[in-house]
Structure 1
């Protein structure tokens, strides 16, 4: 009587492990697909931004100057916040 019960328990364990393994593989493949879709979306956004910049006539030098001004303004704002707290 214990042998059929043991066989049934082993078959149940094998089935559970097989189903669990299949679910893990499915999840891994889905995550890989999700990551690929995300990279494609990010590449599309970057391409669109570059196209808009090219169409506007904005140059790399102007962008560098703009970022420099923003960095200086950020430093000034941080200084003002520190002064207010003191």
Structure 2
């Protein structure tokens, strides 16, 4: 049981950026700066991991579980949105 939980935790960290990239591509038409994408997809899991490790202290005992995948995907989506190419007027 513990091995399966750990496997899903690792999957939450690795599949989060994929979820964010897929969501951005499916639901928006924005263009992002290609050279910054690797930075976003590395920073998002690192932030998610820090959130998972420190969530008990930061959120009154709440510990992230499988929902970390959604948080990670959301962080990736927001990061990609922040590096979008601005429309020139």
Which TM-score applies when normalising by structure 1? 0.29
- Name whichever structure is richer in helix by fraction: 1
Q: Which fold has the larger relative contact order, with Cα–Cα distance below 8 Å and residues 6 or more apart in sequence?
A: 2
Which is greater in Rg? 1
Which TM-score applies when normalising by structure 2? 0.29
